[in-house]
Amino acid sequence: MSTESGDWLTLLQWAVQNPEKGALALVLLAGAWRWVRELRKDWKDDTHQETFTEVLMKENKELRAENKELVHELREARSQRNQNHQANLDPDRKR
């Protein structure tokens, strides 16, 4: 613990004795840290957007399948109705 605090003190002394080097190191460190953080944030946002697109595509696929089923059911119902209609017409023709 004391060794660590001694190291920090030495670093601080060096920074105070060399103000331009200390300032340059501090500023570059802060700027680089900020830049890296923003890049990471951008990358995370991009990844999130990709998964969101995937979710949308999956939903689109499901809706298409559901739509197909509904169309099939509708066609069947229509043909059934036509058959019933034909059956109702036949007795009249027989007369």
Partner 1 sequence: MKLRIMILSRNWCFWCARFREIMLDAPWSSFDLAMSIILILRGTYLIAGFTMLESAYTLYKPLAGIMGLWAYSWVCLLAGLVQAISVLWPSRPPFEWRLFARMGVCFCFVVFSLNQIANVPPPIGAITHLVLSGLSIWSVLRTSHNGG
7 binds partner 1 per the rule CB under 8 A: no
Contacts of 16 (CB under 8 A, 6+ apart): 22
Q: Closest CB to partner 1 among 8 and 69?
A: 8
Using CB under 8 A as the binding rule, the residues of this chain from 36 to 95 that contact partner 1 are: 38, 41-42
**Candidates 2-10, 33-41, 61-69, 73-81; binding stretch for partner 1 (CB under 8 A):** 33-41
Rounded to 5°, angle at Cα 19 from 3 and 24? 95
Q: Which of 23, 55, 56, 71 binds partner 1 (CB under 8 A)?
A: 23
Least separation in angstroms between residue 74's CB and partner 1 is 49
26 binds partner 1 per the rule CB under 8 A: yes
Cβ-contact 24, 32 below 8 angstroms: no
Q: Quick one: CA dihedral 12, 15, 19, 22, positive or negative?
A: negative
